[in-house]
Amino acid sequence: MSELKKAIDQISKDRGIDRDLLIDTLEEAVRSAVARKFGETMDIEVAFNESLGEIEVFEFKVVVKEVHDPISEISFEDAVAHDPNAQLDDEMGFPLKVEDLGRIAAQSAKQVIIQRMRDAEQEIIFEEYKDRIGEIASGIIQRRDRTGWIINLGRTEALLPKDEQIPRERYKRGDRVQAYIIDVLKESRGPQVVVSRSHPEYMIELFKREVPEVGDDTVKIMGVSRDPGLRAKVAVMSRDRDVDPVGACVGIRGSRIQNVVQELKGERIDIVVWSPDIAMYAQHALSPAVITRITVDEEEEMLEVVCPDDQLSLAIGRKGQNVKLAAKLLGWKIDIFTESRYSEINASSKGMDQIASVAELSMESFFNAGFNSIESIVLATNEELLAVNGLTESKIADIRVAINMLTPGIIEDINLDDADKHDENIAEVETTEAEEKEAAVEDVAETTEAAETEEESETPAQGEETK
């Protein structure tokens, strides 16, 4: 076996490069070297002879009577000297020794070979790591640049960007680190593997590695929300009724979850049970706080959560961390109220549904106009109430009457500072019938008074006549 053939086989084995690709690269390199020395007009053929283990180069020339281009043409006399059967316009091939190409051409061929081999190796690495997206890779911290840390993975390098690191985590050159492969990019200098230590999926992969039930899909992780380096919530469910998902993930005396915590530099992890019922799921997600009431708005994907007054700090968490992670885990917006605050809000809006029903409008119509309680309606003028979409003068009168009937004690609860304004509003709802009754009473009084006056004037006259 020739030295060239041995070299091809060895490189193919060590670098993992396809042998045929290496041979094509060699042939292309020699072709490029010939073109550099003799020009592009030379008609050549380059092939690797497997039996000899060598690169063979043939130049082809056309047989002509008179030679104008010695590179591509040969005279009839010279052609006959090589082959007695040669004819005009025949194309004859002549072997060309690779050794005759010269130092510059050989250097050019070497550069082409190196570049082609590098390209082929980079393509192999790209294909390999492209299929590993979503896996955990291990490497050694090599250096730091402006974009993040460079990690040596062996065959290639990976980038751990600043925004994919765990905050306050410190590295030094030579440290071994694990990370989650999130992307592989094609770059001019080679494939760029991008890794992360803060990605939620990284935690899932760690649990798959540490918890056999998660690895074999008996326990399924339904969601993860992280505040990297500080706290995380993991929602789990079991496909087997005999397997406790929380216990499986925690392990005996916390042995399994501690391995994950240590890898994430002490990040606190809450394991919660997933539920298809969003209210129950929210109750689990907000643990360790105790929740007394949850109102679900499916259209807005919003939850109104009520907890005891002494549980508010637990429900919200330090700097809002607990409720923020729970909202991220659920994918819903969460508003938290204490029981006392919730009672205040309900008291202020109590009876609004009945008022809205009297007006034949929705409560949102009043809320959008800024009327959130019966008190606000009582203290508003008719002109201000007309700002409610769909409200008319007649409906306002109906509302005034309804307020007096439904909440007779509400007037006493209004501040005295607003009494004058309230009296004006009440005066507006006096009925025409009441006004007519008052007028009738006045007429009767006037008639009676006139009659008495007339009687008094007539009595003395009669007395005088009697005398």
The mean pLDDT of 305-323, rounded to a whole number, is 91
Tokens of 102: 């010269």
Residue 269 neighbours by CB under 8 Å, 6+ apart: 203, 231, 232, 233, 234, 257, 260, 261
Check whether 463 has a pLDDT greater than 50: no
Least confident of 79-88, 164-173, 429-438: 429-438
Residue 353: the pLDDT is 73
Best CA proximity match to 304, nearest among 325, 322, 288, 323 = 323
Residue 334: the pLDDT is 93
Residue type (1 letter), 391: L
| Top-ranked range on mean pLDDT: pick from 12-16, 285-289, 341-345 | 285-289
Check whether 32 has a pLDDT greater than 80: no
Average pLDDT score over the chain:
79
- CB-based contact 405:449 (threshold 8 Å): no
- CB-based contact 352:359 (threshold 8 Å): no
Best CA proximity match to 360, nearest among 398, 409, 327 = 398
How far is 323 from 167, CA to CA, in rounded Å?
20
316 three-state secondary structure: helix
pLDDT band at 437 (very low <50, low <70, confident <90, very high): very low
| Top-ranked range on mean pLDDT: pick from 69-83, 91-105, 321-335, 337-351 | 321-335
The proportion of the chain whose per-residue pLDDT surpasses 70, expressed as a percent, equals 79
Residue 193: the pLDDT is 92
Tally of CB atoms within 10 A around 213: 22
Tell me how far CA of residue 110 lies from CA of 68, 84, 168, in angstroms.
33, 39, 48
Residue 409: the pLDDT is 52
pLDDT band at 194 (very low <50, low <70, confident <90, very high): very high
Residue with tokens 């007028």: 439
Tell me how far CA of residue 208 lies from CA of 177, 186, 218, 229, 345, in angstroms.
18, 29, 11, 20, 46
**Which structural domains are found in the chain, ordered by start?**
3-126 (3.30.1480.10), 132-196 (2.40.50.140), 219-274 (3.30.300.20), 275-348 (3.30.300.20), 350-428 (no CATH)
How far is 233 from 157, CA to CA, in rounded Å?
32
Burial 165-200 (b: 16+ CB within 10 A, else e): bbeeeeeeeeeebbbbbbebeeeeebbbbbbbbbbb
> What's the longest Cα–Cα distance across the chain?
189
pLDDT band at 49 (very low <50, low <70, confident <90, very high): confident
Measured CA angle at 60 (ends 54, 61), to 5 deg: 155
The mean pLDDT of 192-207, rounded to a whole number, is 94
How far is 254 from 247, CA to CA, in rounded Å?
9
Angle of the 200-210 helix axis to the 255-263 helix axis, nearest 10: 140
How far is 185 from 400, CA to CA, in rounded Å?
70
- Per residue, the 3-state secondary structure of 98-155, as one string, reads HHHHCHHHHHHHHHHHHHHHHHHHHHHHHHHHHCCCCCEEEEEEEEEECCEEEEECCC
Tokens of 227: 């505040």
Check whether 303 has a pLDDT greater than 60: yes
Check whether 398 has a pLDDT greater than 70: yes
Best CA proximity match to 61, nearest among 40, 44, 85 = 44
pLDDT band at 445 (very low <50, low <70, confident <90, very high): very low
Residue 282: the pLDDT is 94
The mean pLDDT of 401-427, rounded to a whole number, is 54
